[in-house]
Amino acid sequence: MTQAQLPPIIDVTVENFETEVVRRSMTVPVLVDFWATWCGPCKTLVPILEKVARELAGKLVLAKIDIDKNPEIAELFQIQSVPTVILMKQGRPVDAFMGAQPEAAVRKLLEKHIPGAAPDPLAEAGKLESAGKREEAITLLARALHRESGSAPIRIALARMLVATGRLDDAKQIFAGVSGEALESPEAQAIAAQFTAAEKAGELASFEAAVAAAPKDVAARIAYGKALVAAGRYEAGLEELLTAAKLDLRFEDGAPRKAMIEVFNLLGQSDPLVLEFQRRLSMLLCV
């Protein structure tokens, strides 16, 4: 089996420890994860380690060791708590960390030891978007999603960018794969709100008439602003929402401000419109 064909994730026991960790680390770095079924932080960390290991397949192997089933190995490494993660190279430990860590911290540790370690696709896409290369960012995320179809953060980021470019049908297809707690995130809720508003995009004329009939009706302004955004007219929509905020910033528990923040999340923090209307909204908040 070539290095590129190595399984990126393996379960290690006392019986195969010498082969799968010590000997294996002579040719490819082995990230050893000491965990336990009763360990809450372990459940948070494992998906991150597995994601990174799959991305670095051929360059890294993740070896998972259940300390309750393999106390001899845990004692050998003097494991005091779980999760504890140790990076093995050339048969010896070269780096380690304890406790659940964010993905960025895990990647930072690995980059010191693995040349060309794959960057975080979300971070890379963010850089591209900030540089005005949203289409390239979309392509990058689409490829990342092909490798990790179950990644809710990638789906949400990709759906947001697709909506921002007016591809609502594509965005809905991608977003349909998001489930569970991920749907409760502010970014996901903003996208869901955009889909709901899009269904009413054809009613722009009636919304506009309602505002013309009652210019000081805050609810009418908010509805019209959201409809404009749904139709892809982001600047006009933000103007309507800002006008609603000027009329009554505290209307329905800050509904105008919340609606604007939904649009900010939709477009992305680097979008020039977002920067402009964030400035104008902050000035209003300071009055």
Which alpha helices (H) appear in the chain, and where do they start and end?
17, 40-55, 71-76, 103-111, 121-130, 134-147, 152-164, 168-175, 186-198, 204-213, 218-230, 234-247, 255-267, 272-286
Q: Which residue has the tokens 């590129």?
A: 4
Measure the CA–CA gap between 86 and 92, rounded to whole angstroms.
Answer: 10
Q: Is 286 an annotated catalytic residue?
A: no
Joined together, the tokens standing for residue 227 give: 């409809």
Selecting among 42, 65, 73, 114, the annotated active-site residue is: 42
Phi, psi of 97 (to 5 degrees): -150, 160
- Residue 81 has which token pair? 């708590």
| C-alpha angle 53-56-60 in degrees, rounded to nearest 5 | 70
Q: Which two tokens stand for residue 76?
A: 């050998």
DSSP 145-162: HHH-TT-HHHHHHHHHHH
Q: Which of 12, 39, 138, 161 is catalytic?
A: 39
83 near 60, Cβ under 8 Å? no
Adjacency order of strands within the sheet including 92-98: 9-11, 61-66, 30-35, 84-89, 92-98
Beta strands 61-66 and 30-35 are parallel
Integer CA distances (angstroms), 206 to 101, 197, 200, 213, in order: 51, 14, 10, 10
Q: Tell me which residues are annotated as active site.
A: 39, 42
